[in-house]
């Protein structure tokens, strides 16, 4: 999604009615109205209400007759692939979000979506005059607001992400303004600002050598450049009206700096009258002016194509000749207004223009590239399909059925290619030699069945380069001593995409197998690169089968691309166990770690997307060492066995792997161990950006640096505290016995409802409740301040995972589990939480084989526990399911109320003598172990 403001032209009067009519009529060629609505107008919301709404808006605008610009025109462009996702409700929400963020909440506006041959876009025309207050609002720095809202809407509706100004691509000219980018996107011609920037090394010394304003004017005139005041500053201007702020070109060219050096601004003075002056005496310039004449036209800034490809010079000459002819005749040809419109029209009749068309479309994607270099290929415009159809029908295809069909690869991305109307990939090939370096020589069409068609004069060393990380850069002779950048070379485009995705390295595609060596030599000469040829058969280069999984593919190519992290990770395949010296000393377990032959622990360091880019090596008694690739973004050691990253669960940030493992054992939350404990703020910001809905908690020691970083990031810093209230280091709390200390420390920050409920009670004594006379029960539960009984519920690993709250008279009130409420069964429903249990009288000993009684309530369990020494269990699930599960494990099980009759009592009241005798008789018949001589003791206090 790309949102931009359409600025009002100085020579065009402001008319909201004209804009509203334009939005509703979609008058451009090939364009049609898709959807339309009106906002904040009493006249209505539909297209039929437009005349009345425009009259209402114009009436409001009459309240500010002196304001010349009362309209804000916004255009939001979407990817064609996202059109199906954008429902009416979504489009209205997107429009309202932009209107509100710009400060126009309550302002009247009209909005409509247009469909044309190029893209799907939305126009929003906003009345800047508020209908009630009549104040005129002009947003400040609105381009940042538009970018922020665009990113928010992309995340909200799952749309394709387009980069904005905050993540500008490195291939852009430095400081290229939105106006210059709009000019290039509209005309496909090099902007005046780009030309100034590219020629800065030549222009700046001449500007700085000028001694007077007239010298400066004459110097710039030699380059067809003017300098003049504008607003509070100065601008450089071209003959066609394009401008660039002088201070943006260089600080020494600001108005203050120039007037300090040259005095107050003076306009340029002509040295001689215009036109030829034959047989006249030489006119001397006034004192202080330069007598150097202005050079003839032809030097300096002149319009030229943004990108040069095969056939561009001929087409450009034809374009300029037709422009001059139209100007002489005084006619008007809309196809000649810009180079872009000319190419679009010519592509219908001139097949060579389609190559130029593809090249310029690629140049635009370079200016505003996608954040994902492997997004699905975009379709080319209808204007170029006619030329492609001619080529496809007139040129024989080359049958290469041995090549795998790219359509069968479900995750194949485009990596800079297009797709035509038949689904053929259009892969551009660029020259690698001479002055034509980087220019498109031709394209390769790859059909779904693997057959190919070459269009254009593609030379042997031409290539298609996939380099999302921009690892290849041209080097001068003085830079050749630096290490060579690795690059892989293959003749199969699908394999090239798979290699780039798996390795992250640059991959070059040759036209055919016979050209592999020529392409490798060209890469070595141009980039001083270390090229490795990838083939299918044993012989030259690295032979790889086409059936390798991405992980295996990366491992096979690790040495060729100098993937240090993967080489170290693959050096040992043995998983680290509890007997590892490092893990045993810290008392933690391994979460995806490995160990080498020396017992060193290998901890994988990954990007937040999960890609392995580093390995930390921990040795007993030594400081950790790291082997890290050049990665984008911070690296972390991820501990998330339940795969909860990206959900609304809290995420902990830890200072190293041992403390991260201990924190996960205590909290069962996802934990990220940072790569650099001294500078973790960047990692925190990246986590917040990737998972905005997750609650991030900084679980690190209470140091000055950590406090400052937490305050700067606006995140809670939770330092460990012992039960006595003394602050300690997390490094001292990695042993299993300290798990409850860690959980108690983080309970409030992580909103651990189970631990908070359990912590709210206290260990009971006999006087807290009559049932506490049963000593084993007293040691297993807690009593809240209001007299309720808190019964701990544990999972299969004996972890406290829930609390059953029972009233003083034995009635169950509610259960705190911290688990989501089970959804109704159906497709996509989350699995039901595992049932929890409570063993009355404490935990069972490991390896117990005695009889088990499954009770239905705590009161029933207390009654049974009084009379028998057998294990009595409560469950949050169905008692029948627990009985069956225990029976399947070979334990003798009795289900209360079914296999064993229990007398009905009120709450925790002990059964009377008759009921007790019947119960003991039933227990004896079932050969359960009985308690002896305790009747009088149990009766006391009840």
pLDDT in tens, 892-927: 888 888 888 888 777 787 788 888 888 888 888 877
Helices (H) and strands (E) in the chain, counts: 29, 34
Is the CB of residue 241 less than 8 Å from the CB of residue 235? no
937: pLDDT strictly greater than 80: no
Q: 3-class SS at 4?
A: strand
pLDDT at 358 (0 to 100)? 66
pLDDT at 216 (0 to 100)? 92
- Topology of domain 2-167 in CATH is BirA Bifunctional Protein; domain 2 (3.30.930)
CA dist., res. 663 & res. 741, Å (int): 10
Give mean pLDDT, residues 507-513.
88
Compare 809 and 821 and report the one with higher pLDDT: 809
Q: What is the pLDDT confidence band of residue 646, given thresholds at 50, 70 and 90?
A: confident
Give mean pLDDT, residues 752-775.
84
Q: What is the pLDDT confidence band of residue 829, given thresholds at 50, 70 and 90?
A: very low
Complete DSSP assignment for 581-629: HHHHHHT---SS-EE-TT--EEEEEE-TT--EEEEEEE-TTS--EEEE-
Is the CB of residue 752 less than 8 Å from the CB of residue 818? yes
Work out the angle between the directed axes of helices 339-346 and 178-187 (0-180°, nearest 10).
30
Q: Which residue has the tokens 């032979």?
A: 543
In the DSSP assignment, the letter for residue 857 is: S
- How far does the chain reach from its first CA to its final CA, in angstroms? 73
CA dist., res. 462 & res. 430, Å (int): 5
pLDDT at 226 (0 to 100)? 93
User: How would you write 762-800 as a 3-class SS string?
Assistant: ECCCCCCCHHHHCHHHHCCCEECCCCCEEEEEECCCCCE
Q: What is the pLDDT confidence band of residue 99, given thresholds at 50, 70 and 90?
A: very high
Q: 3-class SS at 705?
A: helix
User: What are the distances in angstroms from CA 859 to CA 293, 780, 794, 812?
Assistant: 108, 15, 19, 9
CA dist., res. 640 & res. 207, Å (int): 60
Is the CB of residue 315 less than 8 Å from the CB of residue 189? no
Helix (H) or strand (E) holding 671: strand 671-674
Compare 935 and 29 and report the one with higher pLDDT: 29
Question: In residues, how long is the chain?
Answer: 942
Tokens of 100: 């509100």
71: pLDDT strictly greater than 50: yes
Give mean pLDDT, residues 764-787.
81
Q: Which of 39-53, 322-336, 459-473 has the highest mean pLDDT?
A: 39-53
Q: Is 661 exposed, middle or buried (0-12, 13-18, 19+ CB in 10 A)?
A: buried
Give mean pLDDT, residues 346-372.
61
User: What are the distances in angstroms from CA 775 to CA 156, 762, 787?
Assistant: 56, 15, 18
Percentage helix, strand, coil for the chain under 3-state DSSP, each rounded to 5: 35, 20, 45
Q: What is the pLDDT confidence band of residue 132, given thresholds at 50, 70 and 90?
A: very high
Opening angle at CA 398, ends 393 and 400, nearest 5:
140
Q: What is the CA radius of gyration of the chain?
A: 38
Query: Distance from CA of residue 847 to its chain's centroid?
Result: 50
Q: Which residue has the tokens 């900084």?
A: 698
Domain ranges for the chain, please list them. Answer: 2-167, 395-562, 573-751, 765-821+833-939
Q: What is the mean pLDDT of the chain?
A: 81
Strand bridging mode 71-78 / 378-379? unpaired
* 476-479 contact pairs (CB < 8 A, 24+): 479/528
- Name the nearest CA neighbour of 569 among 595, 607, 548, 599: 595
Give mean pLDDT, residues 829-839.
72
935: pLDDT strictly greater than 60: no
Q: 3-class SS at 894?
A: strand
Compare 825 and 143 and report the one with higher pLDDT: 143
Give mean pLDDT, residues 416-440.
76
Is the CB of residue 109 less than 8 Å from the CB of residue 99? yes
CA atoms within 13 A on the CB side of 369: 19
Phi, psi of 783 (to 5 degrees): -120, 130
832: pLDDT strictly greater than 80: no
pLDDT at 287 (0 to 100)? 44
604: pLDDT strictly greater than 90: yes
292: pLDDT strictly greater than 50: no
825: pLDDT strictly greater than 50: no
Q: Which residue has the tokens 């929400």?
A: 93
Which parts of 676-832 fold into alpha helices (H)? 681-690, 704-713, 739-746, 753-759, 775-778
CA dist., res. 219 & res. 200, Å (int): 14
Over the range 417-444, which residues count as b (16 or more CB within 10 Å of their CB) and which as e? bbbbeeebbbbbbbbbeeebeebbbbbb
CA dist., res. 675 & res. 750, Å (int): 23
CA dist., res. 10 & res. 68, Å (int): 10
Q: What is the pLDDT confidence band of residue 504, given thresholds at 50, 70 and 90?
A: confident
Give mean pLDDT, residues 557-568.
92
């Amino acid at each position: 999604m790309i949102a931009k403001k359409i600025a009002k032209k100085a020579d065009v009067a402001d008319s909201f009615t004209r804009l509203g009519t334009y939005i509703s009529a979609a008058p451009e060629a090939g364009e049609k109205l898709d959807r339309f609505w009106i906002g904040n107008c009493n006249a209505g919301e539909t297209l039929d209400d437009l005349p009345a709404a425009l009259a209402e808006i114009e009436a409001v605008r009459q309240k500010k007759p002196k304001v010349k610009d009362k309209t804000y025109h916004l255009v939001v462009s979407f990817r064609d692939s996202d059109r199906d996702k954008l429902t009416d409700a979504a489009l209205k929400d997107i429009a309202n979000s932009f209107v509100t963020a710009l400060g126009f909440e309550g302002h009247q506006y009209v909005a409509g979506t247009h469909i044309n041959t190029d893209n799907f876009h939305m126009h929003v025309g906003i009345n800047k005059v508020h209908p009630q207050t009549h104040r005129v609002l002009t947003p400040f720095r609105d381009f940042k607001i538009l970018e922020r809202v665009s990113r928010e809407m992309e995340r909200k509706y799952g749309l394709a992400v387009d980069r904005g100004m905050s993540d500008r691509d490195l291939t852009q000219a430095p400081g290229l303004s939105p106006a210059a980018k709009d000019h290039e996107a509209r005309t496909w011609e090099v902007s005046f600002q780009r030309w100034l920037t590219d020629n800065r090394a030549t222009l700046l010394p001449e500007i700085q050598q000028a001694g007077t304003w007239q010298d400066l004017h004459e110097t710039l005139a030699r380059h067809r450049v003017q300098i003049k005041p504008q607003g509070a500053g100065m601008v450089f201007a071209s003959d066609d009206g394009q401008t660039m702020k002088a201070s943006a070109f260089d600080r020494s060219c600001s108005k203050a700096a120039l007037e300090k050096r040259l005095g107050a601004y003076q306009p340029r003075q002509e040295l001689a009258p215009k036109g030829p002056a034959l047989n006249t005496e030489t006119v001397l310039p006034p004192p202080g002016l330069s007598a150097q004449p202005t050079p003839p036209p032809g030097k300096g800034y002149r319009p030229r194509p943004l990108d040069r490809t095969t056939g561009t010079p001929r087409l450009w000459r034809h374009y300029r000749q037709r422009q001059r002819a139209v100007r002489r005749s005084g006619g008007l040809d809309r196809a000649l207004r810009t180079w872009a419109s000319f190419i679009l029209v010519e592509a219908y009749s001139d097949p060579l223009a389609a190559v130029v068309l593809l090249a310029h479309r690629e140049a635009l994607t370079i200016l505003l590239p996608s954040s994902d270099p492997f997004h699905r290929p975009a379709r080319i415009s209808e204007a170029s399909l006619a030329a492609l159809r001619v080529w496809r029908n007139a040129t024989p295809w080359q049958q290469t059925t041995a090549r795998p069909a790219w359509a069968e690869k479900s995750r194949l991305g485009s990596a800079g290619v297009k797709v035509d109307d038949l689904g053929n990939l259009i892969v551009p090939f660029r020259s690698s030699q001479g002055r034509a370096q980087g220019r498109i020589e031709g394209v390769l069409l790859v059909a779904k069945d693997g057959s190919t068609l070459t269009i254009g004069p593609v030379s042997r060393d031409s290539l298609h380069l996939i380099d999302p990380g921009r690892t290849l850069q041209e080097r001068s002779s003085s830079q050749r001593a630096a290490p060579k950048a690795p690059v892989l070379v293959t003749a199969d485009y699908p394999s090239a995409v798979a290699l780039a995705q798996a390795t992250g390295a640059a991959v070059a595609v040759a036209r055919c197998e016979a050209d592999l060596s020529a392409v490798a030599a060209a890469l070595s000469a141009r980039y001083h690169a270390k090229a490795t040829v990838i083939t299918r058969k044993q012989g030259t280069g690295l032979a790889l089968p086409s059936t390798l999984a991405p992980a295996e593919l990366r491992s096979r190519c690790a040495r060729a691309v100098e993937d240090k992290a993967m080489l170290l990770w693959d050096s040992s395949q043995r998983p680290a166990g509890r007997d590892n010296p490092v893990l045993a000393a810290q008392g933690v377990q391994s979460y995806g770690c490995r160990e080498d032959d020396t017992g060193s622990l290998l901890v994988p360091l990954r990007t937040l997307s999960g890609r392995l880019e580093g390995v930390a090596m921990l040795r007993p008694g030594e400081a950790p060492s790291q082997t890290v690739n050049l990665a984008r973004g911070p690296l972390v050691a991820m501990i998330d066995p339940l795969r909860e990253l990206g959900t609304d669960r809290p995420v902990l940030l830890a200072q190293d792997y041992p403390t991260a493992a201990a924190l996960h054992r205590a909290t069962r939350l996802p934990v990220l161990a940072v790569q650099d404990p001294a500078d973790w703020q960047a990692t925190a910001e990246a986590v917040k950006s990737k998972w905005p809905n997750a609650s991030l908690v900084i679980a690190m020691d209470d140091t000055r640096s950590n406090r400052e970083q937490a305050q700067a990031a606006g995140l809670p810093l939770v330092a460990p505290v012992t039960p006595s209230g003394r602050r300690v280091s997390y490094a001292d709390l990695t042993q299993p016995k300290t798990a409850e200390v860690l959980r108690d420390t983080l309970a409030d920050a992580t909103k651990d409802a189970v631990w908070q409920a359990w912590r709210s009670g206290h260990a009971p004594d006999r006087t807290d409740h009559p049932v506490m006379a049963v000593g084993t029960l007293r040691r297993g539960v807690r009593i809240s301040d209001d007299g309720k009984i808190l019964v701990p519920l544990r999972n299969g690993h004996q972890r406290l995972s829930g609390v059953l709250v029972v009233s003083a008279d034995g009635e169950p009130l509610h259960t705190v589990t911290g688990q989501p409420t089970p959804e109704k069964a159906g497709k996509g429903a989350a699995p039901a939480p595992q049932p929890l249990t409570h063993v009355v009288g404490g935990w069972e000993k490991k390896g117990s084989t005695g009889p088990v009684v499954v009770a239905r309530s705590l009161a029933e369990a207390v009654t049974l526990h009084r009379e028998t020494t057998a294990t009595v269990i409560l469950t949050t699930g169905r008692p029948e399911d627990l009985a069956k599960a225990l029976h399947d494990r070979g334990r003798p099980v009795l289900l209360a109320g079914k296999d064993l009759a229990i007398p009905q009592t009120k709450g925790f009241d002990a059964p009377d003598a008759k009921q007790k005798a019947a119960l003991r008789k039933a227990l004896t018949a079932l050969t359960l172990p009985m308690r002896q001589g305790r009747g009088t003791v149990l009766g006391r206090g009840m």
